[in-house]
Amino acid sequence: MNQQNNKLELTDILYWLFKFGFWLHLIYIIIQTASMFRIAKDGGVEARISGNFYLWSEISDWHQTEVKSKNEKQEIPFLLTHKKTYASYHVKLSQGRNLVMIVNLIVYHAIWLCITLIFLRIFRSLKNGSYFQRQNITRLQLIAAVIFVAPILKQIYNLQFFAFSQENITITDYNLWMRKDIFFLPAWINSEMVFGFFGMLLVLAITEVFRKGIELKTENDLTV
C-alpha cells in the first residue's frame, strides 16, 4: 500500500513539474518569437535569422579576416570564434524563401511545445490512476513522430540559412562550408536527425509496452 502511495506521489510531482515547465516553455516561445520581428526603415516587416556555419581555408593559421557583405543594405553582425562562425541577419518577409525559413523556425519551436503538453496530459492521466489508456498510446505515437520530424525541420532551416549566407556574404581567404557531424554520412544528415530516429524507435518500443499492458488489463477484466 505504501509503495502504491509513493508511486502516486511521484506522478503528482512529475505532473506539476511538466505543468510548470509547459507555461515556462510557452512564455519563452512567445518572447523569442516576438523578439524576432521588427519594423524596417522602409515600413516593411523584417525578421531575424541566425545560425552557424564553418570556414575552410588553405591558410592553416587563424588570422584576422575581413567580412564583406554582397548586399550593402544587409546588416550582418558577426562573432568569429576559431573556424566556427555565428551570423545573424535581418531579412524581409516579403521574399518568399525568407518567409519559409521563419515559418519553419516557428513551427519547430511550436511542436516541441506540443511535446511538453502531451507529456503533461500523460502524467495527468497517471496522476488520476489511469495507467493504461488507449489515449496514452496515441500520445506516445505523437511524441515519437515529433522526435523524428523536429530535427529534420531544424536541418532544413540550417540548410536554408547556409544557402542564404553563401549568397549574401564573402569572407576574405575563407570559404563557407557545412561540417559533417557523422563522417560516413552526407552533410545534410546531422547527428540530431540520427538521434531523433533512434529516439523515435525507443518511444515506439515504450508504446508497445503500454499496448501490451492494455491488452492484459482487458483480458483480466473479461475474465473477472
- Per-residue pLDDT tens over the stretch 40-54: 777 778 888 888 877
CA angle 32, 36, 40 (to 5 degrees): 155
Residue ranges for the chain with pLDDT beneath 50: 1-7, 81
Q: Grid coordinates 540550417 are at which residue?
A: 158
- Return d(Cα 154, Cα 23) in angstroms, integer: 23
* Confidence at residue 78, expressed as pLDDT on a 0 to 100 scale: 53
Tell me the β-bridge partners of 39. 45
* Confidence at residue 149, expressed as pLDDT on a 0 to 100 scale: 93
* Confidence at residue 72, expressed as pLDDT on a 0 to 100 scale: 53
* Confidence at residue 68, expressed as pLDDT on a 0 to 100 scale: 62
* Confidence at residue 59, expressed as pLDDT on a 0 to 100 scale: 61
* Confidence at residue 203, expressed as pLDDT on a 0 to 100 scale: 93
* Confidence at residue 145, expressed as pLDDT on a 0 to 100 scale: 93
* Confidence at residue 63, expressed as pLDDT on a 0 to 100 scale: 54
* Confidence at residue 70, expressed as pLDDT on a 0 to 100 scale: 61
* Confidence at residue 168, expressed as pLDDT on a 0 to 100 scale: 78
* Confidence at residue 120, expressed as pLDDT on a 0 to 100 scale: 87
pLDDT tens, 136-158? Answer: 888 999 999 999 999 999 999 98
* Confidence at residue 182, expressed as pLDDT on a 0 to 100 scale: 73
